[in-house]
Amino acid sequence: MTTAGGSYDCHRDHGPYAGIADLLSTIAVDRPRLAARHRVELHAIAPRLDRTARPAAEEEPIRFHPARRTAWLAYGATEFVLAWAGRLRQPVTVRFDHVGNADETTRELLDALARRTASTPLRLDLRDDGPHPTATVTPTPEAVRRMLGDSLARGFYHHAARTGRRGRALVTPDDDLRHWWAFTTGLATALAALDRATEALDLYHEARTITDDPKITMSAAYATAMLHARHLPAAEQDPAQARHWLEEAIRLAAGLPDQRQRTLSTVFYEQGLALLDSRAGQPDRALRLIDAGLARLGAVLAPGERRQDLARLRHNRAQVHLALGDPARALADLDTVIADDPDNCEYYVDRAALYRAAGRSRAAIRDYGTAIRLGPHLPEAYYNRAVLEQDRGRPARARDDLGRVLVIDPGHLDARIALVNLEVERGALDAAEAGAQAGLALAPQEPALLCTLGLIRSERGDLAAADDLLSRALAGDPDLVEAWTNRAAVRFERGDVAAAVADLDRAVARSAAPVPRYNRGTALMRLGRWAEAARDFTDALAQPDLDRALRRDLRRELARCRRASASAVGRAGDAAAADERRSDRPA
C-alpha cells in the first residue's frame, strides 16, 4: 500500500487543483475500487485519471458549470480521502507547498480537508514556502487560449479570469483580433460566473468600441443581453435592454453568409427572447418561438447531430409547458432531453420535481440520486431527497442527506431548519439547539430558527425565554403558524389562557391544520366555553388524513366537552328550578 506521503507543489502557476490533484491521483492508484465510487469528482479534479476523456476545451459546452460546483467537488474529494485515511495503519504526513499562492480551487479543497481530517491518521502540513521553479518560456497565444478554454469548460473561473487577462496582455486587437476577442469574451464569461457581471459588461462595451467585425459584435450583443437578463444583480437586470441586444444579435445573424450557421445562430438567440417572453407572462408566445426553432434546426441538422443543442431547446420547452399548466408535456420533453443528454444533472433535478409534484416519490428519489452522482454532490438534490425521505417516514435517511448539505454549504438555511426540526422530533434537544444556534449565527433574525429554538427552550422549562424567542419569530414573520401555536402553548402553560386563545385565533385564521384548532379547543374548555370548544374539535375532526392518535384524542375531548356542556346545562336548569321554588314561597 502506498502512503501517498511526501510534498506537493500547490502554486497557481501549475493550474487548478495543483498539488492536491497529484495526491488524489496517488490514492486513486492505490484504491481503484474506492476511486470508482468517486469517479465524477476525481475526473473533474484530475482529468488524467480519465483515460477516455477529450480535453475539456474541445467539448464546446453549451452550458457552463456554476461557480459553486467546486464546493461540491471539494466535498466529494474529501469523502474520498477520508475513506482512504480511515484504512491507514500508521500516521501519514502530507506536505503542501505554496498554499498562500495556490489557485482558489486548491485552497477550497485544502480547507475542506483540514476541517475534516483532524481526527484521522492523515497529517496535513500546509506551507507557503518550498522550491518553485519559475517559467522561463512565454506561452503562445494558442497555448493560453487552450488553457482558458479548458478552465471555462471545467468551471474553474478564477483561473480562467487570470488566464484571460494573461492572454489580453499578450496580444492587441490590432495585431491579433481573433485571439484578443477569445481572451476578452473568455474573461467576461469567467467574471459573470463569479458574480462580477458589471465588469463583464464593460468588456463587451470595449469590444464594440474597438471593432465592427460582425461576428464579434453579434456575439457581444448576445452576451450583453444575457448579462442584462440573468447575471447582473436582480435590481440591475433590465429586460428591455436584454430584448434590445437580442434583437441586435438576431439582426447581425441574418447577415451571416453561411445558411446553416445563420439558422443555428438565429434559433439560439431566439431562445433568449423566449426566456424574456416567459418571464413577462407570455408563455404561449415563448412556446411558438421554441417550436419554430426546433423545426428549423430539424431542417439543417443531420439525424443525431448536436443532440445536446436540441436537448437545450426541449428543456426550455419543458419549462414553458410547466408555466402553461401542462406537466404531462413537460415530463415528455424531459424524458427526451435526458435520452439525448444523459449526463446533465440539471435535467434530472427538473424531472424529479415533476415526479414529486405528481406523487411519484420513488421515481423522484431515483432522479435526485442520479443528479447527486452526476453533479456531483448537488446540495439541492440532497435537500429535496431528504424532504421526500422524511415524507416517506425515513427520518434517518433524511438526516443523513441534510447533514451532507450542510457540510457542502453551511449557509443552506432550509437544510439547517429541516435538520433542526428532525432533531427536535426525535428528542435530540442538544443537537437541535446546537444546530439552531449555528443557523442563527449566520441569520440572526431567521423566524423559523427562532421558532424552533423557542420550542426547545419551552421543552427545557424556560418559558420566559421561549416566549421571547417566539415573539421575535413572529415579529419577523407574522404568518408563521408554528410560532403562534407554540407561543400559545407557552402562554397556556404560564397560566395566561386568554392570551393563548388570542394566539391560537391568529393561527387558525392562517391555517386549516387540525392542531391549532385542537389546542384552541383545549384552551376554550379551560375557560368553560364549551360550545366554542366543541366546534373546534368538530372542525379538526373534519380535516382529511388525520393522524390516528390525533383523531382519537379529538374524539375523546369532544365527548368530554359535550358531557361538560350537558352538565353545565343541567346545573343551570336545577338552579333555575330552585329559584322558581323560592319565588313560590309565601312571604
Residue at which a domain ends, from 126, 148, 169: 126
Does 129 score more than 90 pLDDT?
no
Dihedral, CA of residue 105, residue 109, residue 114 and residue 119, to nearest 10: -170
What DSSP element (H or E) covers 548? helix 548-584
Gap between the Cα atoms of 205 and 221, Å rounded:
9
**335 Cβ contact list (under 8 Å, min separation 6):** 351
State yes or no: pLDDT of 379 exceeds 50.
Answer: yes
Residue-wise DSSP of 370-427: HHHHHTTS-HHHHHHHHHHHHHTT-HHHHHHHHHHHHHH-TT-HHHHHHHHHHHHHTT
* Residue 304 in domain: no
| pLDDT value of position 571 | 60
Q: Using 50, 70 and 90 to split pLDDT, how confident is the model at 59?
A: very low
Q: What is the DSSP letter of 64?
A: P
The answer to whether the beta carbons of residues 497 and 526 sit under 8 Å apart is yes
Q: Examine residue 323 and state whether it is found in any structural domain, yes or no.
A: no
> pLDDT confidence of 319, banded at 50, 70, 90?
very high
Contact 157, 194 (CB under 8 A): yes
Q: Please report whether residue 418 resides in a domain.
A: no
Cβ atoms 150, 54 nearer than 8 A = no
Give the pLDDT score at 587: 46
**Residue 565 pLDDT grade (very low, low, confident, very high; cuts 50, 70, 90):** confident
What's the chain's average pLDDT? 93
Q: Which of 78, 94, 126 is the last residue of a domain?
A: 126
Give the bridge partners for 93, in sequence order: 123
Positive or negative torsion for Cα 78, 81, 86, 89 = negative
The verdict on residue 297 lying in a domain is no
Structural domain total, the chain: 2
DSSP code of residue 121 = S
Range of 127-136, 183-192, 302-311 with top mean pLDDT: 183-192
Closest C-alpha among 402, 313, 388, 393 to residue 358: 388
Q: Is 41 part of any domain?
A: yes
Do the bridges between strand 92-97 and strand 6-9 make them parallel or antiparallel, or are there none, so unpaired?
Answer: parallel
Distance CA 485, CA 431 (A): 23
Instruction: Judge whether 213 lies within some domain.
Output: no
pTM over 0.85: yes
* Residue 385 CA to its chain's centroid (Å): 12
N-terminal to C-terminal alpha carbon distance within the chain: 113
Three cell numbers written together for 231: 447575471
Among 86, 110, 126, which residue terminates a domain?
126
Which tens digits make up the pLDDT trace of 236-280? 999 999 999 999 999 999 999 999 999 999 999 999 999 999 999
Look up residue 416 and give its three cell numbers. 439547517
Indicate whether 547 belongs to any domain: yes
H or E element, residue 94: strand 92-97
Non-local CB neighbours of 412 within 8 Å, separated by 6+ positions: 379, 383, 405, 406
* For residue 8, pLDDT beyond 60: yes
70 pLDDT more than 90: yes
In a domain? residue 46: yes
92-97 sheet: strands from edge to edge: 6-9, 92-97, 122-126
The percent of residues above 70 in pLDDT, for the chain, comes to 94
Q: What is the mean pLDDT of residues 39-66?
A: 79
The CA distance from 463 to 476, in Å, is: 20
Q: Which residues of 378-408 are buried (b: 16+ CB within 10 A; e: fewer)?
A: bbbbbbbbbbbbbeeeeeebbbebbebbbbb
Residue 578: its H or E element = helix 548-584
| Range(s) of the domain holding residue 536 | 518-577
Chain segment 182-225, per-residue pLDDT in tens? 999 999 999 999 999 999 999 999 999 999 999 999 999 999 99
pLDDT of residue 1: 45
Answer whether residue 410 shows pLDDT above 60: yes
